[in-house]
Chains A and B, each alone.
Chain A
C-alpha cells in the first residue's frame, strides 16, 4: 500500500510574505535499537534520513535526520517567495528510495496580478 505524504501551505500569498510549509510523512522510522522480544534480534534501522525542499528547482531547506526523529515525522518550516512556482518536497529513505510531493504556489502582487516565474511577452 502507498504510504501517505502530506504537504500543506497557503496556496495564494502576496509578494514578500512568509510561506509556512507543513509536511507529514507516514513512516515507521525504525530506529535500529529495538529488539524482538522473543529472539532478541535487533530490527535493522530504516528511517527517512533526508528531506529536501525545493522551490522552482532551488533548494530552500534541507533536513538531515537520524534515528532520534519520531515515527510519522512532521516537519514545518518557512520560506519566502517572490514569484509563483513549484514547491517540491523530497523524502529520502535509508535505501535511497525517494518519494516526492509537489504543489503550486501562487504569488500575487498588490494589484492582484499573478507574478509568473518566467518573463515573456506575447
Chain B
C-alpha cells in the first residue's frame, strides 16, 4: 500500500505534535506553572487539597536523591497571625559554580494553593539565605525544598501552629 503524504496527513501530524505540548501545559497536575490557570480554577476549588500538595512535592523531587541537613529554616513554632508568618531559610553550600541551589521552593502543605514561593539563586549570590513573610491557612507543615545544581535535593519541613488563619 502506498502512503501519500498529502496535505491532510501533513496537517494532522503538525496538529498532533502541538496538541501534546498543549495538553502537557493545560492538564498539568502538580507542576508549579499550573498557577497560570489559578485565577480560573479557583472559582471551582478554594479548599485546601492535600493530594495536590503531595503531587506538587513529588513533581519537584522527581525521584532524585534526597540529602539531609542541607537546609536550615527559622520559623516561629507558634505564629499568632497566619497572614504574616516570618520565614527564614538558608542552604548550607559554598556558592561556587558547581555547588549552589538553582531553585528553592517554599510550600505550605495545607494552603489552597500550596506553592508559596520559588527562589532562584546564582553563583554570584554569595550566600543562599532569604527571609520573607508568608500566609498560612491553618496550622500545618511548611516545607522547603532546595533543588541543587548537582542534581541532589534537600528537603526540610516544620510544623507551624497558626492561631489566626489567613484567608489565602
Give the interface segment out of B4-12, B23-31, B130-138, B145-153: B130-138
Q: Is A116 an interface residue (CB 8 A)?
A: no
| A60 sits at the interface (CB 8 A) | yes
Interface majority SS (helix, strand, loop, mixed), chain A: strand
Interface size class of B (residues with CB under 8 A): 35 or more
Complex CA distance for A80 and B96, rounded to whole angstroms: 12
Q: Which of A1-9, A67-75, A96-104, A107-115 contacts B (4 or more CB under 8 A)?
A: A67-75
B118 touches A70 (CB 8 A): no
Q: Point out the residue from B117, B121, B129, B134 that lies within 8 Å of A64, measured CB to CB.
A: B117
> Is A78 a contact partner of B42 (Cβ separation < 8 A)?
no
A76 is an interface residue with CB less than 8 A from chain B: yes
Q: Write the nearest CB–CB distance from B144 to chain A, whole angstroms.
A: 13
A70 to B166, CA, bound (A): 9
Q: Is the CB–CB distance between B134 and A45 below 8 Å?
A: no
Whether A80 contacts B38 by the Cβ 8 Å rule is no
Main secondary structure of the interface of B (DSSP, over half): mixed
Q: Which residues in window 1-58 of A have CB below 8 A to B? A: 18-19, 31-34, 42, 44-45, 55, 58
Number of interface residues of A (CB under 8 A): 32
- B83 engages A70 (CB within 8 Å): yes
Quick one: given A78-B129, A79-B124, are A31 and B84 in contact (CB under 8 Å)?
A: no
Contacting residue for B108 out of A32, A44, A68, CB 8 A? A68
Chain A residues near B118 (CB-CB < 8 A): 63-64
Closest beta carbon of chain A to B121's beta carbon, Å: 7
Tell whether, in the assembled complex, residue B116 and residue A69 are in contact, meaning their CB atoms are under 8 Å apart: yes
- Inter-subunit contact A58/B133 (CB<8 Å): no
| C-alpha gap A74/B95 in the complex (Å) | 24
B32: A residues at CB distance < 8 A: 66
Note all chain B residues with C-beta closer than 8 A to A63: 117-120, 130, 132
Q: Could you tell me if A34 and B119 are in contact, using CB atoms closer than 8 angstroms?
A: no
Contact indicator B132/A60 (Cβ below 8 Å):
no
Q: How far is the CA of A64 from the CA of B131 in the complex (A)?
A: 14
Pick from A18, A33, A61, A65 the residue with the most CB of B within 10 Å: A33
Task: Please list the residues of chain B having a beta carbon within 8 angstroms of any beta carbon in chain A.
Answer: 32, 35, 38-39, 42-43, 46, 83-85, 95, 106, 108, 111-122, 124-127, 129-136, 166-168
Could you show 28 A-B contacts with beta carbons less than 8 Å apart? A31-B113, A31-B168, A32-B38, A33-B113, A34-B167, A42-B46, A44-B39, A45-B38, A55-B124, A60-B124, A62-B120, A63-B119, A64-B118, A68-B111, A68-B116, A69-B133, A69-B134, A70-B83, A70-B132, A70-B135, A70-B166, A73-B132, A76-B130, A77-B119, A77-B125, A78-B127, A79-B127, A80-B126
Closest CB pairs A-B (n = 3): A80-B126, A68-B116, A62-B120
